[in-house]
Structure 1
Amino acid sequence: MAKAYWITTYRAITNPDKVAAYAQLAGPAIAAGGGRFVVRGMPAKTYEAGLNQRTVVIEFDSLAQAIATHDSPGYQEALDALGDGAERDMRLVEGA
């Protein structure tokens, strides 16, 4: 079974306090779902049409595990705390 990667980029952070509240809840919910943070932070360098925006990559043992974590009550609580505090692009990708 292929690993899965949860990739999030932050287009804009409009309320850092809401992002902090989200992070306090999201980290434990993701860890409880078996997620492991691989990347968290700003790009060291961007190329082509890359945007200089915060990027997070989380590894899961399977796509089903990543989906279940996203849909879990704990992570949904984190999303509620984030609310309109950031504009993000989030996707799940299976490993090669």
Structure 2
Amino acid sequence: ILNDTIVRTRFREGFDREVFMEPGTPYRVTMLLPPTSNLFARGHRIRVDVSSSNFPRLERNPNTGEPIGRHTHHAVAQQTVFADAGRPSHVVLAVIPEQSR
């Protein structure tokens, strides 16, 4: 793992209000990662994992919409990352030109 982050999607529009997701509806979610660096060799690839939780590293997400920290049960969630013309997804990476290294 080079880096990771978490977004509780009920707060994707700000922490001042909860906006729950509707199943089957695509949403724009921005994930900001803290700075890091890594040198990838030519031909290497990166992988992005999307999940409901990274427990025990981060707090569990029960996927129920219940108040945080007071859930009474868990539900299985399904994440879909769209990558088509109408719903593009992308990862933005800074690249340092080879002559600058």
**TM bucket normalised to smaller:** under 0.3
More contact order relative to length (CA 8 Å, sep ≥ 6): 1
More helix by share: 1
TM-score w.r.t. structure 2 length? 0.24
